[in-house]
Amino acid sequence: MADRLDWFEEARYGLFIHWGLYAIPGGIWEGKEYGGGTEWIMRTAKIPFEKYKKLADSFHPVNFDAEEWVCKAVQFGCRYLCFTAKHHDGFAMFDTAVSDYSIMHTPFGRDVVKELSDACRRHDLTFCVYYSQMQDWADPDGDGNTWDYDPARKDFRRYFDNKVKPQVRELLTKYGRIGMIWFDTPYDMPRELCAELAGFVHSIQPDCVINGRIGYGLGDYRQMGDNEIPVLAYRGA
């Protein structure tokens, strides 16, 4: 594990990019502005999934240029780049066989994760991905969406087996070396599933760093809240 963290401790500075369907409303839904991160708008505004998913019909960012983004990161002095492959809204910004709810089924129709990972390799920037492993407001069995789906009817294990693990496998097998996979908001996800997920990641890419938000101290380093700095350094067990 010490060797796995070496590059991360040496890098020290990276660029974290949140980008997805939530960029279209930009924090405003039906004329009302919602506070907090714009990536949370589906939940803060309690937007029905059937309405929210229609944003994909107009997602066509023709000016996206992975080369330009990565070159900017290098100019900024970054040593790694972490991109949101799937945030809590459940929308995949990569080519996934698991679901049609992805960037490949938009007017844009391009695999942003692939383009960024390729550009990072060309410029010797370590590529990392964010993946929301517990919250998924698009999936009836995922956590977080209580306005569309009855929590009592959720089967989280089914979501974990049928969506989380297959998509994590895709991210770890289709895009070359992944320096770190950045999980988020484990909340009350069972410890055994968090441990299973950590083991699953390292069975595919043993050197991939796992952040602390996998939960229960199972990550490779301590993870604080957003914009918080720990008092003491920490490496996971």
Q: Which DSSP string corresponds to 126-189?
A: EEEEEE-SSB-TTSTTSBS-TTTS-GGG--HHHHIIIIIHHHHHHHHHSSS--SEEE----TT-
Residue-wise pLDDT tens for the chain (237 aa)? 569 999 999 999 999 999 999 999 999 999 999 998 999 999 999 999 999 999 999 999 999 999 999 999 999 999 999 999 999 999 999 999 999 999 999 999 999 999 999 999 999 999 999 999 999 999 999 999 999 999 999 999 999 999 999 999 999 999 999 999 999 999 999 999 999 999 999 999 999 999 999 999 999 998 888 888 877 766 654
Report yes or no: 128 and 184 within 8 Å, Cβ to Cβ. no
Class of domain 2-21+61-214: alpha beta
CA distance 76 to 14: 9
Distances (CA, A) of 109 to 52, 104, 174: 18, 4, 17
Q: Which two tokens stand for residue 91?
A: 């929308």
Report yes or no: 71 and 77 within 8 Å, Cβ to Cβ. no
Q: Please choose, from the candidates 64, 32, 61, the residue with its C-alpha nearest in 3D space to the C-alpha of residue 45.
A: 32
Predicted structure pTM score = 0.95
Query: Which run of H or of E encompasses 209?
Result: strand 209-210
Going from N- to C-terminal start, the domains of the chain cover: 2-21+61-214
